[in-house]
Structure 1
């Protein structure tokens, strides 16, 4: 019997804005995770260092016990930093267990319910000049669906001109691609409640696939007003970090698509639970994933076993990926090949991605200091990014 005792945890902060985690066991099996809060990589790294006391020397196969200790053992629970740290550790433990048993993670989660997963990728939206060009690039690459920012910076109550700009962006895509392209619109929490209904009225004729984060997650109580106003599916969840964060909106029935992030919402263990909760309310799953290959592989493992998963985000070519992209740290990038808009079932043991550690160590020497921009309105007031 191989000794799966955890001996070492290493962190790699690499361009463009990622933090990778490596867990090494006594028998030599390693697991990879991707714990990061975009813009707070060092803070998450510090949290992982604090959590090491609960991990080193433990049996890596005891995934659920370790998860519970990491979540409950510190008394104060939840939030983006702790849950992202737990996420990366959890991903790595599932990777180790799959490699140990020589099966992909989806087999350990009960087995796949599908043999491929529909994908979408991000395009511009802040600038209408690049929308058609970027959308055509994604269509040429094989995507059948894209997502774009619905708006740039918005006032609490913006002008009619700004509102028309939002609707014109999706209008351009509909005129060019018809209904051969599914289009998701990300409000990104940039829109405040007084503006949402007006924007939705403008967008409904162009039938977007979904509206994402129509309001900030701290204002989820407003979803009950928005939900009853429109027939466009409402999506949210990238800034929600556990099943307890999702519980209320699932119970209220004010969302159609939940978007937990596998690097923020407690990893594979917790997102699988969140997906099952959503299924009980007849609500679908579309995991958020603007990050790297380990996060994407983890999301796909959950997608493959969740009957209510409908589509998966990929960061390939996203504007954040400056200097390095999704496939650059991988030795087997072909596992993410797109065929007719889908990625096939991942069959390799563990998460299914092989990391090029030499490139990772080179990237770690460079590091990054990524942070999101600070936007202001014309009068100097802070504007949501």
Structure 2
């Protein structure tokens, strides 16, 4: 063990992005690690300071595996993406950032080094105000027509998906993710879809294929809103448009039900950023319920658990595709993970975020050009919260220290 010790854990929240929580893990050597998680920021912050801080302060931050185990060695920390896993994720990411800074190497090097020179990205078609709310209920947070930003891609796929596909292709981005079935799911509580609703939701797929043919890959997000029979019905209707994958079509709490869905269609089934820990993923993999393994490192246990999930996916000959639709630090962490894993298929990205509000908060965002993301080169995660972040009028902070 080293002489390095954790001396304080500091958390930060801003009212504008009220679901994002940032964490600083401070040490006696003056090094600070940066982490992040998303959703229920107040509850996660309370868990960090009320439960985890006294387990972590005074410990060696380089004992990442041991600290990860300690953070989850709780009676209510099960295989989910609840408060315990989100808190652990934020701190774990910060510990890897610290490790990289100490060694003066990027996190992907600490995880084993680059497997690729560049990685394909797809554009998740969210808008600029998609997460600027404390409510993340589907459809309610779409903010349609409320902003005139350059990358209002949610408005784009709901109004003229063909033109949006052309614009993405002109920037070298050959894959996009859309979710036009959400309004029907919310209206009907996921129980059924009418013929008219089906026609309305399929229109973006028709527009994309008419405008750009098969030059654009289409991923379909369902946000776990449907029951199984309706999900299968929608899948049959979409198959002629040859989407790349169907993502989270039902609630991710029944491997058997998802396996039935996966067997009913030739389109890949993708799951799921809503799963926490490798143990949950194993249940789905054992039943042939998932073809593409997606994980959000800010929810599923951080980089420590994320690389185990990716490795397990490879043992089942499944590709890995990290999730990102949250904050800038989680995005950086996902990209480091993507470069370090040999089975990474593609990296999720949101151009409305990495060209927009991410730049209001952090010093560096990943380089994305021509439909590819490139490795971040600085030590650790390679990004920090901007000095201006700490001057925000809507900033609040809490600290636990020795």
**Compared with structure 1, are the counterparts of its residues 240 and 71 closer, same or farther at alpha carbon in structure 2 (3 Å cutoff)?**
same
- In the other structure, the counterpart of 1:114 is 116
- Return the alpha-carbon distance in structure 1 between the equivalents of residues 302 and 7 of structure 2: 21
Candidates 352, 359, 367, aligned match of 1:327? 359
- Return the alpha-carbon distance in structure 1 between the equivalents of residues 339 and 2 of structure 2: 28
| Count of aligned pairs | 359
SS in 1 for 2:358: coil
- In the other structure, the counterpart of 1:376 is none
Are 1:211 and 2:246 matched, yes or no? yes
TM-score by length of 1: 0.88
Candidates 204, 207, 212, aligned match of 1:169? 204
4+ residue runs of structure 1 moved beyond 6 angstroms?
none
Query: CA RMSD, aligned part only?
Result: 2.2
Q: Is the 8 A contact 1:213 1:236 kept in 2?
A: yes
SS in 2 for 1:216: coil
Stretch deviating more after TM superposition (281-290 or 219-228): 219-228
Are 1:266 and 2:268 matched, yes or no? no
- Return the alpha-carbon distance in structure 1 between the equivalents of residues 390 and 174 of structure 2: 32
Q: Cα offset for 1:231? A: 0.9
- Return the alpha-carbon distance in structure 2 between the equivalents of residues 171 and 162 of structure 1: 14
List alignment gaps of at least 5 residues for structure 2: 126-153, 398-402
Aligned pairs for 1:343-382 (under 5 A) are 343-362=373-392, 364-365=394-395
Q: Cα offset for 1:228? A: 1.4
List alignment gaps of at least 5 residues for structure 1: 368-385
- In the other structure, the counterpart of 1:179 is 214
- Return the alpha-carbon distance in structure 2 between the equivalents of residues 262 and 364 of structure 1: 26
Q: Cα offset for 1:125? A: 7.7
- Return the alpha-carbon distance in structure 2 between the equivalents of residues 364 and 66 of structure 1: 32
TM-score by length of 2: 0.84
- Return the alpha-carbon distance in structure 2 between the equivalents of residues 250 and 231 of structure 1: 17
- In the other structure, the counterpart of 2:71 is 70
Q: Is the 8 A contact 2:162 2:204 kept in 1?
A: no
Q: Is the 8 A contact 1:293 1:326 kept in 2?
A: yes
**Compared with structure 1, are the counterparts of its residues 237 and 126 closer, same or farther at alpha carbon in structure 2 (3 Å cutoff)?**
farther
Q: Is the 8 A contact 2:12 2:396 kept in 1?
A: no
Q: Is the 8 A contact 2:162 2:209 kept in 1?
A: no
- In the other structure, the counterpart of 1:95 is 97
Candidates 175, 184, 209, aligned match of 1:145? 175
- In the other structure, the counterpart of 1:377 is none
